[in-house]
């Protein structure tokens, strides 16, 4: 039995043990539907209930940070954004904490309402709809991102609210949330030198941009195709696991990053920007910085590739991300030096 098999068996046992925290029949059906950062189960109860049960990656979020995530998601839902609804435990807690029997590891488990929709695509498989449909979908994604940012600006954060920051330090410096790109062993000395020069210049650019409320605030930070579920004419936002404080342009760069180089990129990116601007201001001067934020996202993904190097997804994506990051860094340096 592989380590992964053992881990999944442990997660299955945890998922089953957690049901009593919600007074849910242990005879309910649990089906693992995703295992990347978190283990996500579809839960179907004998009385017809359907939920998403999440076992969170151990140690990624403090209890206060996870509570803050669920509070923010619930506030967005109450304000009219289409997100899952948090289902509190029988003791009115946002999530439960369980200890895995073999390792003694502490895991947070939460439950969300089920969203019955189809993902727009995936990082691994890309997008499959025709260009007109993709553009229409991503215009709506732009609208949703802008509404989320507008609501963020006016939302009074509850006492104790805390989330990580996707700022310079959180993206690629000493305390990077996902790890430092400099620790990725596959980078050659030449590639490292290019990325170091670009990150130094990027630090200056981001410092000059600042963190005023018009450019920086709470962001979802993971608007990838698999986290955008189409349901009829609506699009739901799911998976707020990476949500935190960051630049609003970082949100847009994240949503478009894995579409770079695709034949439909210009159509989709133009549609997203058009949708965003229909709800919230995005001056041309700010939009001109988008390539810099693609580079910032690439540096973050390099850190992720290092700290998640054991996963199949990281093994598959690392060569592509390295190539993209170096190309972006070279283009960025060329532009600022001319």
Give average pLDDT by consecutive 10-residue segment, the chain, 338 residues: 79 95 96 91 97 95 98 97 97 96 88 94 80 94 98 94 97 94 96 98 97 97 95 92 98 97 96 98 98 98 92 89 97 90
Q: Does domain 119-336 have CATH number 3.40.50.300?
A: no
Domain ranges of the chain: 3-114, 119-336
Map tokens 């954060």 to a residue.
157
The CATH code belonging to domain 3-114 is: 3.30.200.20
pLDDT for the residue numbered 226: 93
DSSP string of 106-153? EEEEEEEE----EESEETTTEE-S-HHHHHHHHHHHHHHHHHHHHHHH
If DSSP codes are grouped into helix, strand and coil, which group holds residue 44? strand
pLDDT for the residue numbered 162: 98
């Amino acid at each position: 039995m592989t380590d992964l098999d053992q881990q999944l068996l442990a997660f299955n046992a945890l998922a089953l043990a957690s049901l009593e925290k919600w007074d849910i029949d242990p005879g309910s059906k649990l089906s693992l539907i995703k295992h990347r950062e978190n283990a996500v189960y579809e839960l179907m109860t004998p009385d017809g209930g359907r939920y998403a049960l999440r076992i969170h990656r151990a140690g990624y979020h403090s209890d206060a940070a996870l509570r803050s995530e669920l509070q923010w998601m619930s506030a967005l839902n109450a304000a009219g954004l289409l997100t899952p609804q948090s289902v509190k435990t029988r003791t009115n807690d946002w999530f439960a904490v369980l200890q895995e029997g073999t390792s003694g590891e502490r895991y947070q488990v939460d439950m969300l309402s089920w969203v019955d929709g189809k993902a727009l695509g995936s990082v691994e498989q890309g997008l499959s709809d025709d260009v007109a449909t993709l553009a229409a979908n991503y215009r709506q994604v732009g609208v949703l991102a802008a509404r989320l940012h507008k609501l963020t600006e006016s939302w009074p954060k509850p006492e104790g609210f805390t989330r990580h920051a996707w700022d310079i330090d959180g993206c690629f410096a000493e305390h990077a949330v996902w790890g430092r790109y400099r620790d990725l062993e596959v980078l050659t000395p030449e590639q490292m030198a290019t990325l170091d020069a670009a990150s130094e210049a990027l630090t200056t650019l981001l410092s000059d941009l600042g963190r005023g409320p018009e450019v920086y605030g709470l962001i979802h930070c993971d608007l990838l195709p698999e986290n955008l579920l189409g349901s009829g004419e609506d699009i739901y936002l799911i998976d707020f696991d990476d949500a935190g404080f960051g630049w609003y342009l970082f949100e847009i760069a994240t949503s478009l990053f894995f579409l770079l180089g695709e034949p439909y990129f210009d159509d989709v990116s133009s549609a997203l920007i058009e949708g965003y601007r229909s709800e919230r201001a995005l001056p041309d001067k700010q939009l001109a910085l988008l390539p810099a934020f693609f580079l910032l996202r690439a540096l973050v993904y390099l850190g992720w590739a290092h700290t998640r190097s054991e996963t199949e997804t990281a093994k598959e994506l690392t060569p592509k991300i390295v190539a993209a990051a170096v190309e972006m860094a070279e283009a960025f340096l060329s532009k600022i030096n001319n």
